[in-house]
Amino acid sequence: MKSRLIAVATVVAVVTTGCASWGDNQKKGTGIGAAAGGLVGALIGHKTGSTARGALIGAVVGGVGGTLIGKRMDDQAEKLARELEGAQVSRVGEGIAVTFDSGILFPFDSSELSSDARSNLRKLADSLQAEAQTDVMIVGHTDADGSDAYNRDLSERRGRAAESFLASIGVAPSRLRSSGRGEAEPIASNDTDDGRRQNRRVELAIYANEEWREEAKRMSSR
Where residue 9 sits, what CATH number does that domain have?
Answer: 3.30.1330.60
At residue 203, does pLDDT exceed 90? yes
Identify which has the larger pLDDT, 138 or 21.
138
Q: State pLDDT tens for residues 40-78.
A: 444 444 445 578 888 888 888 888 889 999 999 999 999
Q: Are 182 and 68 in contact (CB under 8 A)?
A: no
pLDDT at 8: 34
Domain count, the chain: 1
Amino acid at 153: D
Q: What percent of the chain has pLDDT over 70?
A: 77
| Banded pLDDT at 81 (limits 50, 70, 90) | very high
- The C-alpha atoms of residue 143 and residue 103 are separated, in whole angstroms, by 12
pLDDT at 220: 74
- Which strands make up the sheet holding 4-10, listed edge to edge? 17-19, 4-10, 87-92, 95-101, 201-208, 134-141, 176-180
Expressed as residue numbers, the domain containing 68 is 4-220
pLDDT at 222: 66
- The C-alpha atoms of residue 48 and residue 119 are separated, in whole angstroms, by 31
| Banded pLDDT at 17 (limits 50, 70, 90) | very low
Q: State pLDDT tens for residues 122-160.
A: 999 999 999 999 999 999 999 999 999 999 999 999 999
Phi, psi of 28 (to 5 degrees): -95, 160
CB atoms within 10 A of CB 130: 10
- Tell me the mean pLDDT in the region 6-34: 32
Q: What percent of the chain has pLDDT over 90?
A: 60
pLDDT at 221: 73
pLDDT at 76: 95
- Tell me the mean pLDDT in the region 179-201: 93
